[in-house]
Chain A
């Protein structure tokens, strides 16, 4: 399959596809971060995760429209406002869902899966009724358009770089919150031993609620970043949900490092294969490889050694 390309062409192809893969990696990682918090830490299957992401995307779209209409001078900076709004909108919805739905189901993970699937159907229909069935896209501010010309054959779009930088920052923030902050220690304590954590004075219900809200909030930010590179429709979230779950499971559910590594592997494999095969076959081969590896090594790449 390499025969038709010269060596320098191949280099450029790998660089460009590698970069496309890095953007896919950012999307996977941003979505998977939220899931890694919710599924990895709390053990809750949230099939509506994609819809939380899309909520963030719609909030970003609304903000960009608002800035365009009322504050055109500040349009260059709308994205940062939108990101914060998206975080809080998705987080608030997440908190509501935890209170109304998830907290009744902590002992029945398979039922959570069905209930959140129902929730995702409802949210999709709400988006369709409110925003219309057509996909919407945001206008990028001037400074995000264009691309860096690295060599003759290699071009790197600025919005992609921006999304990647954002991903790295958010990942660091999540890692800090979970592993170094006082609140993150409480979360991990509750996950490891709920009864003991309660006995030493941690309010476990409150921790659950805020953990779920944080996961959903991160999904909202992911949606916000997603608008930079693609358009948003009511069902866009569902396209990614299976991939994202595979990313989290493949990485080893409770490991942040594993999530990063598996998001990287999967996105790079897929985008490199995509150039040489058709898009659907690339996806089939990638997914098959993941499922195959998971059958041989069900605990994922980076498994915590925990005595059960």
Chain B
């Protein structure tokens, strides 16, 4: 006999999958939002090794 469509197990799995999906979507939105805020504020976005030596001297 096949699985009933509306079994409790399916309901819980759907809830979990939706929950994880929403969390991942939220996480992407947070990273995007942080990037926008920091870029607009003019924060240094490059990692240290990507800054040219002259700029490193200035930073000191």
Decide whether A and B assemble into one complex: no
Task: Please list the residues of chain B having a beta carbon within 8 angstroms of any beta carbon in chain A.
Answer: none
Task: Please list the residues of chain A having a beta carbon within 8 angstroms of any beta carbon in chain B.
Answer: none
